[in-house]
Amino acid sequence: MNQSDITAGQIRQGAPFLWVNPERQTDFDPDLPLNIQHIRDADNRLRRFGPLLTQLFPELSDAGGLIESQLHPVPTLQAEVYPNLSGQLLIKGDHALPVAGSIKARGGIYEVLCHSEALALQHGILHDTNDDYLKLTSEPAKVLFSQYEVAVSSTGNLGLSIGIISAALGFKATVHMSVEAKEWKKTRLRNRGVKVIEHKDDYSAAVTAGRAESDANPNSYFVDDENSQQLFTGYAVAALRLQQQLSDADIKVDAEHPLFVYLPCGVGGAPGGIAYGLRLILGQHVHCFFAEPVEAPCVLVGMQAERSAEIESVYDFGLKVATEADGLAVSKASPWVCSLMRTLLDGVFTVDDDRLFEYLYQLQQHESISIEPSAAAGFTGPDILTATEDGKAYLLANQLSDKLDNSTHLLWTTGGLFVPEEEMFKFSAKGKQLLNL
């Protein structure tokens, strides 16, 4: 059996495992489409919108309109749950990103801002990009935006992000929700005047339906999670922000101080954009791993496909996308993102649903941080790398085994801020029970 047959067999089994990307390169491929200037431009655009965002969302006033999350040390979690881990464990707290309550605040809001800026420039509401962006809340701007629709398909969180910002700017907003979407996410959107269309099918089907409906309306703009460079670039800005936070915390990333980043992954855009930015900005000593449910490892499947056009879905492996991690419940990855990840990603690991609830509970107990199940997908990563045979073989092959004392392990928590209290209680009760506590 060759390596890809072995991997296919492991995917089929639906049990957790680590896949190490044989095509990762240490040097950043200069032919990749986005460079540092694209990411800086995106950051500058977000900063131009700061005053406007503060006006629309007063919770952003302390941050000057920047939507950003904290870098948290988690010493108690590390001591209690990862007692044998050397190096430092940190959390990048996108579970608490304001406005959208998930990692989707990065890409989703960015893309709608790009669209509104382009329309405003085209229609003379803004003269140029140095103009006063508060003009976008003026009456003429509202009249303009109300003639246009922004549409998206989602398993929940992307819909929240796009729906909330689009409605706040005065667009008509339509969200196509796949079957996984939680009821409370739909209600939250409807309360803001967003049109929610419920599909009985999975995410890929909701994308196809949403895209077709939007394409038929010349005044509708479809945020395309599978193909959007703007969305991806918005996510990548996280790397600039993290670089600053690491430097503020005196955390080095270099040959002697590797950084391991564990990112929950659905269609691939959010973790892909972040991994791309991190490899571009921090270089080869950042090691990015995606975490996917055993029942929905779509990027893992996508990375196996020899050519991106032939990417298969997880259904071809007998899997059913049966997961409580609604943010990761995707059968078919973005082929475009998979192709961008080919030389950048260190690997992908899969995780059992039960573990999500266990970690969710432990994080709450030890650090008083509440996240949704999807956001816990990366939490098995440090143990997979340092305490399994496959992980140790990877570390050895990459000359990392002797660098662990100086390493940093970053768990990227991707959602949770708006989960209703009674839902959160059920999640943590389930985790507690699974741990026999």
Ligand X SMILES: *Cc1c(COP(=O)(O)O)cnc(C)c1O
Dist. CA 413–CA 356, nearest whole Å: 12
Q: Does residue 210 touch ligand X according to CB under 6 A?
A: no
Q: Does residue 304 touch ligand X according to CB under 6 A?
A: no
Number of residues that bind ligand X (CB under 6 A): 19
Binding part of the chain for ligand X, among 145-153, 240-248, 372-380, 385-393 by CB under 6 A, reads: 372-380
Tally of CB atoms within 10 A around 424? 16
Binding mask 218-247 for ligand X (x = CB under 6 A): ------------------------------
Binding part of the chain for ligand X, among 17-25, 100-108, 171-179, 387-395 by CB under 6 A, reads: 100-108
Binding part of the chain for ligand X, among 54-62, 211-219, 260-268, 388-396 by CB under 6 A, reads: 260-268
Binder to ligand X among 163, 258, 269, 378 (CB under 6 A)? 269
Q: Does residue 277 touch ligand X according to CB under 6 A?
A: no
Dist. CA 330–CA 319, nearest whole Å: 11
Nearer to ligand X, 69 or 374 (CB): 374
Dist. CA 273–CA 286, nearest whole Å: 14
Nearer to ligand X, 163 or 266 (CB): 266
Helix/strand/coil (H/E/C) assignment for every residue in 24-64: CCCCCCCCCCCCHHHHHHHHHHHHHCHHHHHHHCHHHHHHC
Dist. CA 27–CA 45, nearest whole Å: 28
Q: Does residue 344 touch ligand X according to CB under 6 A?
A: no
Q: What's the min distance (Å) between Cβ of 344 and ligand X?
A: 15
Q: What's the min distance (Å) between Cβ of 182 and ligand X?
A: 11
Q: What's the min distance (Å) between Cβ of 333 and ligand X?
A: 8
**For residue 219, with 0-12 CB atoms within 10 Å meaning exposed, 13-18 middle and 19 or more buried, which class applies?**
exposed
Binder to ligand X among 159, 210, 266, 302 (CB under 6 A)? 266
Q: Does residue 293 touch ligand X according to CB under 6 A?
A: no
CA atoms 276, 4, 17, 302: torsion sign: positive
235, 107 in Cβ contact below 8 A? yes
Q: What is the DSSP string of 88-141?
A: EEEEEEGGG-TTTSBTHHHHHHHHHHHHHHHHHHHTTSSSSTTS-GGGGGSHHH
Q: Does residue 270 touch ligand X according to CB under 6 A?
A: yes
327, 155 in Cβ contact below 8 A? yes
Binder to ligand X among 69, 157, 230, 233 (CB under 6 A)? 157
Nearer to ligand X, 68 or 119 (CB): 68
Report the chain's C-alpha Rg in angstroms: 21
Residues binding ligand X (CB under 6 A): 102-104, 157, 264-271, 327-328, 372, 374-375, 414-415
